[in-house]
Structure 1
Amino acid sequence: MKFGLSFLPDAAPDNKSASDYYRDALDMSVLADAAGLSTIKITEHYGMAYGGYCPDPLMFLVAVAQKTRQVRLMTGCLLPTFHHPVQLASRIAMADVLTNGRLDVGFARAFLPAEFDMLGIDLDESHTRFDATVAAIADLLTHGVASAETPFFSYQDVHLLPPPVQRPHPPLWAAAARSRSSFARAGERGLNLLTAFTIQSDQHLTEQIAIYQEARQDAGHAGRGRVTMLIPLFVHTDDRVARERGMAHLRRYHATWADASTSWRNRSSRAYPGYTDLHRQLEALSAQDVFENGSLVFGDPERVRDHIARLTETFDIDQILWNVDFGAMGREDAISSLSLFLERCLDHNDKTDQAAIRSEVERCEAQNVRLPRPARHMT
Structure 2
Amino acid sequence: MKVHMTNLIQNYNNARSDYEVFKDQLELSIRADQDGYESIGCVEHHFDPGYSMCPDNTQFLSYLAAVTKNAKMHTTAVILPWNDPMRVVEKIALLDNLSDGRAMFGMGRGLARREYEGFGLDMNESRERFDEAAEMIMRGLEEGFVENDGKFYKQKKVGVHPKPLGTFKGRTTMVAMSPDSAIAAGKLGVPMLAFIQGPMEAMHMPMIEDYRKAFKDTHGGDAPPPMMIDLTYCHNDSEHARKVAYEACVNYYITCVEHYEFGGRHFENTKGYASYAAAKEAIDAMGIQAVADVYANAQIWGTPEEQIAKHEERKAIVGDYEIISVFQYGGLHGQAAADSYDLFTREVKPKLEKL
TM-score normalised to the size of structure 1?
A: 0.84
What are the within-5 Å matches in structure 2 for residues 206-217 of structure 1? 206-217=205-216
- Any conservation in 2 of the 1:228–1:317 contact (CA below 8 Å)? no
1:347 aligns with 2:350: yes
What's the CA shift for 1:348?
7.0
Structure with bigger gyration radius = 1
What's the CA shift for 1:140?
1.5
Deviates more, 1:207-216 or 1:127-136: 207-216
What's the CA shift for 1:34?
2.0
- Any conservation in 2 of the 1:258–1:280 contact (CA below 8 Å)? no
- Any conservation in 1 of the 2:43–2:54 contact (CA below 8 Å)? yes
The one-letter code matched in structure 1 to 2:181 is S
The one-letter code matched in structure 1 to 2:234 is V
In 2, Cα distance between the equivalents of 1:131 and 1:326?
Answer: 31
Q: How many residues align?
A: 346
Q: Which runs of 5+ in 1 are unaligned?
A: 350-379
- Any conservation in 1 of the 2:43–2:57 contact (CA below 8 Å)? yes
Q: Output one character per residue of 1:12-60: Cα deviation in whole Å (capped at 9) or x when no partner.
A: 5831222222222122122222221211121101000355421111111
Counterpart in the other structure of 1:369: none
Give the match's secondary structure for 1:297: coil
Counterpart in the other structure of 2:311: 308
In 1, Cα distance between the equivalents of 2:95 and 2:37?
Answer: 20
Give the match's secondary structure for 1:46: strand
- Any conservation in 2 of the 1:38–1:71 contact (CA below 8 Å)? yes
Counterpart in the other structure of 2:175: 175
TM-score normalised to the size of structure 2?
A: 0.90
Deviates more, 1:266-275 or 1:316-325: 266-275
In 2, Cα distance between the equivalents of 1:325 and 1:245?
Answer: 12
Partner residue of 1:296 out of 294, 299, 320: 299
What's the CA shift for 1:281?
4.8
* CA-based RMSD: 2.3
Give the match's secondary structure for 1:327: coil
- Any conservation in 2 of the 1:228–1:318 contact (CA below 8 Å)? yes
1:335 aligns with 2:334: no
- Any conservation in 1 of the 2:144–2:164 contact (CA below 8 Å)? no
What's the CA shift for 1:5?
0.9
In 1, Cα distance between the equivalents of 2:58 and 2:205?
Answer: 31
Q: Which runs of 5+ in 2 are unaligned?
A: none
Q: Output one character per residue of 1:123-158: Cα deviation in whole Å (capped at 9) or x when no partner.
A: 110011001111111122111233211222212221
Counterpart in the other structure of 1:270: 271
Q: Output one character per residue of 1:88-125: Cα deviation in whole Å (capped at 9) or x when no partner.
A: 11111111111111111111110111111111111110
- Any conservation in 1 of the 2:10–2:21 contact (CA below 8 Å)? no
1:190 aligns with 2:189: yes
Instruction: From the superposition, tell whether residues 277 and 50 of structure 1 become closer, same or farther in structure 2 (CA, over 3 Å).
Output: farther
Give the match's secondary structure for 2:224: coil
1:71 aligns with 2:71: yes
In 2, Cα distance between the equivalents of 1:110 and 1:124?
Answer: 11
Q: Output one character per residue of 1:285-333: Cα deviation in whole Å (capped at 9) or x when no partner.
A: 54432344xx222212222222232233332233100121110322011
In 2, Cα distance between the equivalents of 1:221 and 1:75?
Answer: 27
- Any conservation in 1 of the 2:304–2:348 contact (CA below 8 Å)? yes
Identity of aligned residues (%): 22
What's the CA shift for 1:70?
0.8
The one-letter code matched in structure 2 to 1:63 is Y
Counterpart in the other structure of 1:322: 325
The one-letter code matched in structure 2 to 1:301 is P
In 1, Cα distance between the equivalents of 2:92 and 2:197?
Answer: 29
Which structure shows the bigger proportion of residues in helix conformation?
2
Give the match's secondary structure for 1:151: coil
Instruction: From the superposition, tell whether residues 288 and 155 of structure 1 become closer, same or farther in structure 2 (CA, over 3 Å).
Output: closer
Counterpart in the other structure of 1:253: 252
